[in-house]
Amino acid sequence: MKKTFGFFSIIWATFLALFNVIVFVTPNEAGGMTKFGGAFWVGYIFITIAFIGQLVCAFFAFKPSDKQKVFYNIPLVTISYAGLIAMLIAGTACMAIPNLPNWIGIIFCLLVLAITAIAVLSAGFAASVVTDIDQRVKVKTFFVKSLTVDAEHLMNTAKTTELKALAKKVYEAVRYSDPMSNAVLVEVEEKIQNGFSDFENAVNGEDYELATSTADELLSLIDIRNKKCKLLK
């Protein structure tokens, strides 16, 4: 997602430049008092830190090439953006209030920064957990999804009406099977895979009797697997 981050960086740089222009181009004195007094630099530094932090969050959010992972990382951008807005308010208050003690500005801005950092870290952890769960689900559903693709292809390439009917029966049985796999199902799934290979060879060899017998065995194994899946829930 380099293009997305590149576009975001342009917007980020524009707002950072605008912030600096507003800060340093406005009149230097107001009511006989310099605007650079009090906690001005505290507010300015913390706002700049918030800008940099927001860019870092965006970098990690848009870094993955997988669109789904980027979607899971969107909270990183939104939370860091909300934190930047909060810091702009807090920092501007520090910069605008005359003779505000530095220690008050530091505590106020540190509090905003800490809350934002905790929220960002929590969002990053949540995205990591969801991504891990999603990856596990993909692995656990691969067997049925892969077998469904093979069964559909066999159904479409079967050369006779009778063989197509058998292939369709197997395809529908696989298609409507429980997609979730489990370690305890490895043995029966290996038998299903081997049984499907025998059935595929029979269909491709146009051996209807062999295809019928292997189809019955295959359907029986699929039924056994589905019943075991129910027991695991």
The pLDDT assigned to 47 comes to 93
The percent of residues above 90 in pLDDT, for the chain, comes to 41
* Structure confidence by residue, pLDDT tens digits, 113-157: 999 999 998 888 888 877 776 666 676 788 888 999 999 999 999
Question: For tokens 């706002």, what's the residue?
Answer: 47
The percent of residues above 70 in pLDDT, for the chain, comes to 91
How far, in Å, CA of 173 to CA of 37, rounded? 77
How far, in Å, CA of 152 to CA of 154, rounded? 5
- Label residue 167 by pLDDT band (50, 70, 90): very high
* Structure confidence by residue, pLDDT tens digits, 61-72: 888 777 777 778
**All structural domains of the chain with their residue ranges:** 2-133, 158-231
Q: 93 φ, ψ to 5°?
A: -60, -40
How far, in Å, CA of 35 to CA of 167, rounded? 81
Cβ–Cβ under 8 Å, residues 62 and 103: no
The pLDDT assigned to 201 comes to 93
